[in-house]
Amino acid sequence: MIIALDPRTGRAVGEPIPESTEEQVVAIVEAAATAGRAWRVTPAAERAIVLEAVADALMASADDLWRAADTETALGEVRLRGEIARSAGQFRLFAEVLRDGGYLDAIIDHADPQLTPPRPDIRRMNQPLPGVVGVFAASNFPFAFSVAGGDVASALAAGCPVVVKAHPGHPVLSGLVATVIQAALPEPELLGLVQGADAGRYLVQHPAVAAVGFTGSIHGGKAIQGLINERPDPIPFYGELGSVNPVIVLPSALNGDVTSLATGFAGSLTLGVGQFCTNPGLLFVPDDDTLLKAIAHAVSETTGGPMLTPKIRDGYEEGVARLALGATELAIGQETAPTGDIARIGQEGASGDISGIAGSVVPRVFVTDLGSFADRLPDLAEECFGPAALVVKYRDISRVGEVLERLPGSLTATVHATDPAEAEQIADVLTRLAGRVIWNGWPTGVAVCWAMHHGGPWPASTSAAHTSVGATAISRWLAPVAYQNWPDTLLPPELRDDNPLNVPRRVDGSR
């Protein structure tokens, strides 16, 4: 049985959720595959209408959804309402993607008998993967990267049915969200939900599953890849894993508002108790006392809070201990004052360690010099998931570039400077290091838009060519099919000569 816990109190939430048996997983996957046959050939315009209906259903249920999510995540009403809106926005974005038609990458090369050898008529476009997409929900985004997340929205948009393995941190909410979405689908079986660790194994290895999406830890991603490797037929695995998201402060930034720079870093570091995949875990700064003092002060003014699960909390404490072995503590934030049930537990004497029950942590920032950091690679460049970071002092920016070359891949890399020319010597390495490079900003907050790329070299993701956020996330669930000398009446409408759907196409080499 899966028991949901309130991170604030450690107390059970709702009734225990039974883990899905192998027979149940098989039935759910096969039902999704059956429903997917009609969904695959449903016109894109009709699929777009369904996606918008899902978005409307999520927003209409927001009052119930955020309350259920808060009891299992302690993320609060403002954050959770915003995330529901983001999830709805993802479904609406993919409705736009379907109506645009560019995702099909439609190409036509007419026959040309004058070529040597003669060329037949070849027409190509993307089609949905022939099977079910398996999705593993994330812990830190109970809506936007879970049952109502971008993997689900993009896969449904592509024309694929989906089965989600719920995260054990919010099992009750997962069932509620699945019910809301299923009610908006033409067939509820297009979205299946399974619960439990074994269910994840059964899902990944079911022969009807054609691809898998995952957001989580490196350890979890490797485990899923291992299960896929045991299959007789390989399938693609799109995992978003660990990321330290380096931030480089160049000397010219010291001519600006150093206090704002420090508070911006502290705010990004501690947002959502640091439980963001784009958390700035490494900060390279000039060896400047004023800046270091500003960072220390800004971090000391921040507060901690309960982490999503005891496992995440324990991982944070282990990461902090690892940083403490290789660096000096620069600043520590403040504990969150207990309120509500937590305060009452303390008053009643039910626990001598409230923070231990609630999973609360405090922000921690450490400091070291560039040489010491380089000597302790790769250990000091390992992600510490939570509100912890390492500040690395440097004196020569050219040496920073050499160290950046040795870092693992990240989702983001950020530069703070007032002189663009100053960044020339590190710009190239940053574009090889990360999937998104940021100028005078902070990495937390991933816009859901056409141009977004949320991926990066290993271990940020398993496929740097693909994104889990933004319009092009749909490409993970598509594969091209080429039609040679195919009768026009049998071609998909998007490839017929009259182009009745008016999709963008490349014809004989020209767009």
Task: Give CA–CA dist 33/311, Å, rounded.
Answer: 34
Is 354 a residue whose pLDDT tops 90? Answer: no
20 contacts 27 by C-beta, under 8 angstroms: no
Same domain, 43 and 56: yes
Same domain, 112 and 72: yes
Per-residue pLDDT tens over the stretch 185-218 = 999 999 999 999 999 999 999 999 999 999 999 9
Residues 6+ apart with CB under 8 A from 277: 140, 215, 240, 243, 411
pLDDT value of position 395: 94
Same domain, 228 and 290: no
CATH number, position 236: 3.40.605.10
Same domain, 227 and 340: no
Active site residue 277: yes
* Catalytic position from the list 277, 383, 384, 494: 277
Same domain, 210 and 63: yes
203 contacts 235 by C-beta, under 8 angstroms: no
Same domain, 286 and 317: yes
Local confidence band at 314 (pLDDT 50, 70, 90 cut-offs): very high
Average pLDDT over residues 127-140: 97
First to last CA, the chain: 55
Q: Do the domain assignments include residue 406? A: yes
Q: How many residues does the chain have?
A: 511
Local confidence band at 342 (pLDDT 50, 70, 90 cut-offs): very low
Residue with structure tokens 């537990």? 345
313 contacts 307 by C-beta, under 8 angstroms: yes
pLDDT value of position 343: 37
Q: Do the domain assignments include residue 200? A: yes
pLDDT value of position 356: 39
Average pLDDT over residues 362-391: 96
Is 338 a residue whose pLDDT tops 80? Answer: no
Provide the domain count of the chain: 2
Local confidence band at 358 (pLDDT 50, 70, 90 cut-offs): very low
Is 357 a residue whose pLDDT tops 80? Answer: no
Q: Do the domain assignments include residue 454? A: no
Per-residue pLDDT tens over the stretch 138-151 = 999 999 999 999 99
Same domain, 320 and 420: yes
Q: Do the domain assignments include residue 455? A: no
Torsion of CA 148, 154, 157, 159, to 10 degrees: -110
Per-residue pLDDT tens over the stretch 164-177 = 999 999 999 999 99
Per-residue pLDDT tens over the stretch 459-482 = 999 999 999 999 999 999 999 999
**What residues pair up with 105 in beta bridges, in sequence order?**
none
Average pLDDT over residues 227-253: 96
Same domain, 250 and 160: no
- Least-confidence region, from 57-66, 314-323, 324-333, 358-367: 358-367
pLDDT value of position 407: 96
Q: Which residue has the higher pLDDT, 7 or 46?
A: 46
What string of H, E and C letters represents the secondary structure of 86-114? Answer: HHHHHHHHHHHHHHHCHHHCEEEECCECC
Is 375 a residue whose pLDDT tops 50? Answer: yes
Dihedrals phi, psi of 26, to nearest 5 degrees: -60, -45
Same domain, 156 and 231: yes
* Catalytic position from the list 240, 383, 384, 494: 240
Per cent of the chain over pLDDT 90 is 90
Average pLDDT over residues 270-278: 93
User: Would you list the DSSP string of 274-337?
Assistant: G--TT---EEEEES-HHHHHHHHHHHHT-B-EE-SSHHHHHHHHHHHHHHHHHSEEEEE-BPPP
Is 287 a residue whose pLDDT tops 50? Answer: yes
- Please count the other Cβ atoms lying within 10 Å of the Cβ belonging to residue 26: 15
Average pLDDT over residues 220-227: 96
Domain that holds residue 211: 22-241+465-481
Q: Do the domain assignments include residue 415? A: yes
82 contacts 65 by C-beta, under 8 angstroms: no
CATH number, position 278: 3.40.309.10
pLDDT value of position 459: 95
Q: Do the domain assignments include residue 91? A: yes
In the 8-state DSSP scheme, what is residue 483? E
Local confidence band at 346 (pLDDT 50, 70, 90 cut-offs): very low
Per-residue pLDDT tens over the stretch 25-35 = 999 999 999 99
Of the residues 376, 405, 439, the one at which a domain ends: 439
Local confidence band at 9 (pLDDT 50, 70, 90 cut-offs): confident
Same domain, 330 and 233: no
Same domain, 172 and 278: no
Residue 161 parent element (H or E): none
Active site residue 449: no
pLDDT value of position 14: 81
Q: Do the domain assignments include residue 453? A: no
Q: Do the domain assignments include residue 234? A: yes
Residue 289's Cβ-count burial label (10 Å; 0-12, 13-18, 19+) is exposed
Same domain, 205 and 118: yes
